[in-house]
């Protein structure tokens, strides 16, 4: 079986981490798969399914810990499994999967808008808003609040080692929202001066823990100590169903060169990961397209998610990088 060019290109882009965010990766994955289906010359359903299965395996092999992309695969492959169960012909299957793709894109566009809408309700006129690191979902919330005519200012810290907090500075500047900046160590001083705090999340686990850029958890602790509401903006594609079955998230350690120059002897080691885990009791609410949920509701959300048997079966090996 010849590998389809679009899938090869996608796999390459995922492997090289060339795609901006998790949501964009999810869209590219669904788009590439639906194109594969559309262009397929398969004579029967089984051949078509085999082509898709092969592509999904290639994609999963290079996929980092991006819950949205995995969930998008669940949806797409789940639709295909349903079609198979119903004995769909090749033509019927192509229709099913085209619809699955269109539904996904429609859903994605409206979901992000809803997250922004609901989150903006938590920003009040005159607020000082703390935001940790960067998150396109939080940016959307703040832009929406600004469009609603609210006047507020944003405080952000660098977010070492990648300094993504400085992207937030640029983004707020573009939106005409006043922003000030500090170092990560200053969260103990700055968050108590704010009325509300927001962060994004890479993953929401089945127990309502939020995996996000390192520094989010201490920020949530400071917010709790000072009674500042702490919201996580995450549409339900960020809910990682693999955690329901006890699988770990992947969390990268940061690199030595990020903090120590070559003058340090080798026996000085570096320690720490790029992400930390904020426990549910420190999260005021998770802002999703379904509404603002208590993080404990993660299980209910996962119950409603379309899960693919085939993708689920790949996850244990995938989570160990052994697929």
User: Which residues are part of the catalytic machinery?
Assistant: 202
Q: How far is CA 126 from the centre of its chain?
A: 30
DSSP for residue 3: P
Question: Minimum Å distance from CB 140 to other proteins?
Answer: 19
Q: Which of 74, 160, 250, 310 binds other proteins (CB under 8 A)?
A: 160
In the structure encoding, which two tokens stand for residue 291, read together?
A: 């509404």
CA nearest to 124, candidates 148, 105, 100 = 148
In the structure encoding, which two tokens stand for residue 156, read together?
A: 């952000």
Question: Is residue 158 within 8 Å of residue 183, measured between CB atoms?
Answer: yes
The interface with other proteins within residues 219-238 (CB under 8 A) comprises 219, 221-222, 225
Q: Which of 34, 79, 159, 206 binds other proteins (CB under 8 A)?
A: 159
Cβ distance to other proteins smaller for residue 151 or 180 = 180
Q: Per CB under 8 A, which region of 16-24, 78-86, 186-194, 232-240 contacts other proteins?
A: 186-194
List C-alpha distances in Å: 319 to 100, 183, 238, 240. Answer: 26, 33, 16, 12
Question: Minimum Å distance from CB 269 to other proteins?
Answer: 4
260 near other proteins, judged by CB under 8 A = yes
50 near other proteins, judged by CB under 8 A = no
158 near other proteins, judged by CB under 8 A = yes
166 near other proteins, judged by CB under 8 A = yes
Q: Which of 259, 305, 307, 323 binds other proteins (CB under 8 A)?
A: 259
Q: Which of 94, 140, 146, 213 binds other proteins (CB under 8 A)?
A: 213
Question: Is residue 204 within 8 Å of residue 135, measured between CB atoms?
Answer: no
Question: Is residue 51 within 8 Å of residue 1, measured between CB atoms?
Answer: yes
51 near other proteins, judged by CB under 8 A = no
Long-range contacts of 170-173 (CB under 8 A, 24+ apart): 171/134, 171/139, 172/139, 172/142
Which residues have CB under 8 Å from 238's CB, separation 6+?
Answer: 22, 67, 68, 201, 202, 203, 204
Q: Which of 15, 46, 50, 188 binds other proteins (CB under 8 A)?
A: 188
Question: Minimum Å distance from CB 57 to other proteins?
Answer: 33
Question: Is residue 131 within 8 Å of residue 177, measured between CB atoms?
Answer: no
| Cα–Cα distance, 119 to 217 (Å, whole number) | 20
184 near other proteins, judged by CB under 8 A = yes
Site residues for other proteins per CB under 8 A: 155, 158-161, 163, 166, 169-170, 173, 179-190, 213-219, 221-222, 225, 254, 258-260, 264-265, 267-273, 276-277
């Amino acid at each position: 079986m010849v590998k389809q060019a679009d899938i090869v290109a996608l796999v390459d882009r995922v492997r090289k981490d060339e795609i901006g965010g998790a949501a964009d990766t999810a869209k590219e994955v669904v788009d590439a798969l639906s194109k594969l289906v559309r262009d397929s010359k398969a004579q029967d359903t089984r051949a078509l399914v085999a082509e898709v299965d092969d592509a999904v395996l290639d994609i999963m092999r290079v996929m980092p810990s991006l819950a949205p992309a995995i969930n998008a695969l669940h949806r797409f492959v789940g639709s295909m499994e349903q079609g198979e169960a119903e004995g769909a012909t090749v033509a019927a299957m192509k229709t099913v999967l085209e619809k699955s793709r269109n539904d996904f894109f429609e859903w994605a566009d409206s979901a992000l808008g809803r997250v922004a809408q609901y989150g903006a309700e938590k920003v009040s006129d005159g607020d000082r808003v703390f935001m940790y690191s960067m998150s396109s979902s939080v940016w959307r919330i703040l832009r929406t609040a600004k469009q609603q005519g609210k006047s507020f200012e944003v405080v952000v810290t660098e977010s070492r080692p990648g300094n993504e907090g400085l992207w937030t500075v640029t983004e707020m500047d573009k939106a005409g929202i006043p922003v000030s900046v500090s170092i990560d160590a200053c969260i103990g001083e700055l968050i108590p001066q704010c009325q509300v705090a927001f962060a994004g999340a890479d993953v929401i686990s089945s127990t309502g823990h939020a995996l996000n850029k390192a520094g989010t958890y201490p920020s949530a602790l400071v917010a709790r100590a000072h009674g500042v509401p702490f919201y996580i903006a995450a549409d339900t594609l960020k809910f990682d169903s693999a955690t329901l079955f006890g699988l770990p998230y992947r969390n990268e350690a940061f690199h030595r060169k990020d903090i120590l120059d070559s003058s340090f002897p080798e026996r000085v080691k570096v320690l720490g990961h790029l992400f930390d885990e904020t426990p549910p009791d420190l999260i005021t609410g998770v802002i999703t397209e379904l509404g603002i949920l208590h993080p404990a509701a993660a299980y209910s959300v996962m119950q409603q998610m379309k899960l693919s048997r085939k993708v689920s079966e790949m996850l244990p090996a995938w989570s160990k990088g052994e697929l």
